[in-house]
Structure 1
Amino acid sequence: MNAYRMKPLAFPWPPLIYGAALAAAFLLQAHFPIAVSDRESWIATAAGSVLILIAVVLDVWAMRTLLDCHTTIMPNRCSTHLATSGPYRFTRNPIYLGYTLATAGIGLVMLNPWCLVTATIAAGVTSIIAIRREELHLLSRFGIDFERYCSGTARWI
């Protein structure tokens, strides 16, 4: 493996990507509003609240699992152990999945449909900018163990 693959991300991009997605959604709603009926807004608020709660629980669970595995939470630091327990049994990227669910949940609570669009775009951008690079890093660090893990665990859900 070459040195490029041995390095994780140079900068922790995903939080910035999702922050930009939220900012873009609010700007889009301000300039190109999508009308949403207030009549049943409690349903959207309840669904959004549930998504945000799931996202927070998923993120905290994933971070706790990484700490229990004695590896880094930061995507720009080298991993010392491969986490395959906790939420990592179901998805290889539970923290990014949590960010995506939170962004969509905020959109539902705020009645901003653009958040659903930008959450999807942010997930795609995160896959291209962060996940591919992180997977190369993990492959170079853990080899066949990471390949085996990937074959049995979905990237997102």
Structure 2
Amino acid sequence: MNREAPTAARAHAWGRIYFAVQAVAGLAWWVGVFLSPAIRTATLGSLDPVAVAAFDIPLFVIGSGVAAFGVRAAAVVAAGWTGVVAVTLAIYGTITTEAGWGVLIMLAAAACSVVALFFVVQGRVPTELIVRGPFAFRPASNRHSTAANVGATMGQLILFWGFFLVVLPSAIWWIEQRWNVSLPFPSAAPPAGFVVLVLASSLGIASAVTMSSAGGGTPLPSAMPNRLVIAGPYKWVRNPMAVAGISQGAAVGLMLGSWLVVAYAVIGSLLWNYAVRPHEEADLERRFGTEVQRYRDSVRCWIPRW
């Protein structure tokens, strides 16, 4: 029996359900736009709602409604139009500092529409595309010494932390201020964030050093360890570097007082868990067989087992 067929059928159904919900939500939003000046200002700024509705209602609301019946062309139109609106509104909001909440709503709708489109058209999301090319899983060269692997890992940490914990959160914080969508944080948030950042960074460094020294490789997919690592933090949780990275992102969000940065960390955790982790674990199982299965049965992915 082909197990993929029921899975694809369920995904197809979920995609149709999403487009149905999006059609109803879009219609409700347009009713709110025309009845409430507050909703209109928060989501459209100074844009003429009649001119926008002339395109958005047929392409977004009606298109999503037709896609809910499984019409693939309608799903393509609805998802494509949602992406165009999200990008256009983001540019408008960044220039004018208006319609910030509308930008966030449309960005979320665009992302969900793309997933729903894949569900309707293919019955799945082709997450395997993430781990191809330079991100394909490949073992590190055995010619490198332990010191070389540790040094390469430290260099990777500096680059990745600099981008994902400094550059990207700073840009998100600036956008949050520019779009006027910031929310108040308690005064205890920054010091609490600093403590979490220190602890999470310590866990990240310990995990990286353990992986590179005991595993004979680096955290990068293109130079993965040659041995299964179950030492150090890996004795308590299967993915301590992911736990550390997500905690670091949330901690930076607390320090900046930015709920969007915290959301960025949460979204990153979901993407890693559902899009990357299955492929990583499948690769480990191909290379290490029953050893990985025993390890997976005894050590949890996210919650430490002491």
How far apart are 1:29 and its partner, in Å? 4.6
State which of 182, 185, 188 in structure 2 corresponds to 1:34: 182
Structure-2 residue corresponding to 1:72? 217
Cα 1:82–1:31, aligned 2, differ >3 Å: closer, same or farther?
A: same
* Mean CA deviation greater in 67-76 or 112-121: 67-76
Over the residues paired in the alignment, what is the CA RMSD in angstroms? 2.8
Q: Distance in 2 between matches of 1:88 and 1:123?
A: 18
More helix by share: 2
Report the secondary structure of 1:108's partner residue. helix
**TM-score, normalization by structure 2:** 0.43
Q: How many angstroms does 1:75 deviate by? A: 2.4
The one-character-per-residue Cα deviations of 1:35-71 (angstroms, maximum 9, x if unpaired) are 215xx42x11111001110121011100111122142
Rg larger for? 2
Q: 1:9 to 1:48 in 2, by over 3 A?
A: farther
**Is structure 2 residue 274 aligned with structure 1 residue 128?**
yes
When normalised by structure 1's length, the TM-score is: 0.79
Give the conservation status (yes or no) of the 8 Å contact 2:211–2:225. Answer: no
1:80-135 deviation per Cα after TM superposition (whole angstroms, max 9, x unaligned): 10011111112211111111011100010111111221111101111233211111
1:18 shift after superposition: 4.7
Q: Provide the residue aligned with 1:49 in structure 2.
A: 194
Cα 1:128/1:22, change in 2 over 3 Å? farther
Overall identity of the aligned pairs, in %:
22
Distance (whole Å) between structure 2 residues aligned to residue 33 and residue 47 of structure 1: 23
**Measured at CA, do residues 24 and 130 of structure 1 come closer, stay the same or move farther in structure 2, by a change above 3 Å?**
farther
1:65, 1:86 within 8 Å by CA — same for their partners in 2? yes
Counterpart position of 1:98? 244
Q: 2-side partners of 1:12 and 1:55: how far apart? A: 25
Aligned residues: 147
Amino acid at match of 2:197: I
User: For 1:76, what is the secondary structure of its paired residue?
Assistant: helix
Structure 2's unaligned 5+ residue stretches are 1-127, 137-159
Of 288, 292, 295, the residue aligned with 1:149 is 295
C-alpha spacing 1:34/1:102, structure 2 compared with 1 (3 Å) = same
Shift of 1:30: 3.2
| Aligned with residue 203 of structure 2, among 26, 38, 58 | 58
Q: Which residue of 2 aligns with 1:137?
A: 283
Whether the aligned pair in 1 keeps the contact of 2:212 and 2:225 (CA below 8 Å) is no
Contact 1:21 1:119 in 2 (8 A): no
Rounded Cα–Cα distance in structure 1 between residues aligned with 2:298 and 2:132 = 24
Are positions 1:108 and 2:282 aligned together? Answer: no
d(CA) in 1 for partners of 2:268, 2:291: 29
